[in-house]
Amino acid sequence: MDNVREKLTQCFSLAFPKIDPGRFPEARVENLSEWDSLAHVRLLTLIGEEFAVDVDREKFESATSFQELAGHLVEEGPAA
């Protein structure tokens, strides 16, 4: 889980380079104004690349928080 959260934080850092990484664990679409639809596409593209998972699925596309994305990635198993 820690490894997933660490890699996910790196993805968030690249997708939101101007945001303090300390905010990411609690980041949600509602509390991060930079997290718009295009930023979501960028973030999922990064996650797909970094975790080698298929992000073209409803659960990833509809995820709206760091915690939710981390949960889905843990479910994906060791590959993630």
State in angstroms the smallest separation of the CB of 14 from other proteins.
4
| Residue in 19, 29, 42, 67 binding other proteins, rule: CB under 8 A | 42
The three-point CA angle 19-26-32 to 5° equals 45
Q: Where are the alpha helices (DSSP H) in 1-80?
A: 2-15, 37-51, 58-61, 66-75
49 counts as binding other proteins under rule CB under 8 A = yes
Helix (H, G, I), strand (E, B) or coil at 75: helix
Selected range binding other proteins among 13-21, 24-32, 70-78, rule: CB under 8 A:
13-21
State in angstroms the smallest separation of the CB of 22 from other proteins.
17
